[in-house]
Amino acid sequence: MNTADSERLSHQLESVGYTPTEDVEIADLILLNTCAVRENAETKVYGRIGELMRLKRKNKNLILAVTGCMAQKNQAEMFKRAPHIDIVLGTHNIQHINEMIEEVQRGHTHQINVDMDNSVLPELEAKPNGTFYAWVPIMNGCNKFCTYCIVPHVRGREISRPVEAIVKEVTELGAKGFKEITLLGQNVNSYGLDFKDGTDFGTLVDALDGIPGIERIRYMTSHPQDMTKSMIDALGRSSNIVTHLHLPIQSGSNRILKKMNRHYTVEHYKELLSYCREKIKDVVVTTDIIAGFPGETEEDFLATLQLLKDVRYDMAYTFIYSKRSGTPAATMDDQVPEEVKRVRLQTLMDVQNEISYELNKPMEGQVFDIIVEGPSPRDEDMWFGRTSGNKMVLFPKDDSLSIGETVPAYIDKAQTWVCYGTIQKG
């Protein structure tokens, strides 16, 4: 979501003459688009803001702006902690960046706009950074108020873009050569519910089916509470929706799910997942799990561990519970000791790694279509691409291939996190 916002900010800035640079030493404007999901992210941002003070001293015309969830959350203290900041821009106001820059240039320092108007979601053009993929926000905000999560407080209530606007954007992206898009929302399963006319995420999936040039449509993130069988049916019949489904469970204990305010049970979740596996061919399932939520007993933890073994996810993103000020969970009794949380996290990871390897191993000897993404971050002699199920495939660099090209890859060796393959030609 932050990447999508940054692309929309970039388009606005370039429309008034700014050009991007990777060198902060020569920048006229530095804009930090921030996250507030975890405390560590905020700490890093304040550290970075402090480092940038020397550039402000060196260049009196340099404008320093902070936007994103951290700006929305910490609006009252941003200027106090870092008076050299010029602009604090909330999550609902990125369309005002240019006018706020103008105000600073007129000599009116410390511009702030953190109003949260949920009555309209402005349509903003983006400058996609990807060569073949693009991010497409379909909604903003969240109504769930999970007790550990700050997002509803910094993104506001759910508001959806019209189906027609999303179809128009995706159609234009397909015409420009983008072949993979990702639909973004804090909870894509609640898309369209604010229209109160029967529109839902399945409606959008059907509307985007078969758009010329679009080979793959990914989506994130899903929520079990709002997922329905009709949505799953739409995913299953779509010609371009990927086979990857990310469905966060967070805990395998109904007692903890209730404390988290998740509004579903493990039993209901398993029913949904069973239906997904029935209706979506070759579906690859991943999830999120929090270890050490306040009040989590050993029994609760073992229930989560058993869930992993029962469901057998292709991958699980596991996190230690981290307090976020302003959320109910931060003040709950029975906070789990850090050492216990670390041990539980490692246990979850060990079990999941074994399962991931067992599920990847049968891929050996099979051929999967991948889209070439370019050099591996760790080895420039190896390139990589992803399957429809979001499995990463590494292969030897081949100068005859182009980034964004769809090619068949034969899987030679499967590991826990990646597969190694050979591109088949001819």
Residue 355 is assigned to a structural domain of this protein: yes
Residue 316 is assigned to a structural domain of this protein: yes
CA atoms within 13 A on the CB side of 323: 12
pTM exceeding the 0.85 threshold for the entire prediction: yes
385 and 412 housed in the same domain: yes
What CATH number should be reported for the domain holding residue 407?
2.40.50.140
Residue 119 is assigned to a structural domain of this protein: no
Q: Per the annotation, where are the binding residues for [4Fe-4S] cluster?
A: 142, 146, 149
Q: β-strand 406-414 against 418-423: which pairing, if any?
A: antiparallel
145 and 284 housed in the same domain: yes
Q: Which of 58, 82, 113 is the endpoint of a domain?
A: 113
Residue 387 is assigned to a structural domain of this protein: yes
For 14, the 3-state DSSP assignment is helix
370 and 356 housed in the same domain: no
256 and 168 housed in the same domain: yes
* Sequence letter at residue 405: E
CA distance 143 to 186: 9
223 and 286 housed in the same domain: yes
Give the domain extent around 275. Answer: 133-360
Residue 118 is assigned to a structural domain of this protein: no
Q: Per the annotation, where are the binding residues?
A: 142, 146, 149
328 and 368 housed in the same domain: no
315 and 388 housed in the same domain: no
257 and 347 housed in the same domain: yes
Number of domains in the chain: 3
Nearest to 371 by CA among 215, 171, 213, 175: 215
308 and 404 housed in the same domain: no
49 and 82 housed in the same domain: yes
Residues in the chain: 426
CA distance 119 to 82: 32
Over its length of 426 residues, how does the chain's per-residue pLDDT go in tens digits? 889 999 999 999 999 999 999 999 999 999 999 988 777 788 889 999 999 999 999 998 999 999 999 999 888 789 999 999 999 999 999 999 999 999 999 987 899 999 988 777 889 999 898 899 999 999 999 999 999 999 998 999 999 999 999 999 999 999 999 999 999 999 999 999 999 999 999 999 999 999 999 999 999 999 999 999 999 999 999 999 999 999 999 999 999 999 999 999 999 999 999 999 999 999 999 999 999 999 999 999 999 999 999 999 999 999 999 998 889 999 999 999 999 999 999 999 999 999 999 999 999 999 999 999 999 988 889 999 999 999 999 999 999 999 999 999 999 999 999 999 999 986
For 75, the 3-state DSSP assignment is helix
Q: In what order do the strands lie in the sheet with 315-320?
A: 244-246, 284-291, 315-320
Q: Which of 82, 113, 144 is the endpoint of a domain?
A: 113
Helices (H), 280-385: 298-311, 338-360
CA distance 285 to 269: 13
Given a contact cutoff of 8 angstroms between Cβ atoms, the answer to whether 38 and 50 are in contact is no
What CATH number should be reported for the domain holding residue 44?
3.40.50.12160
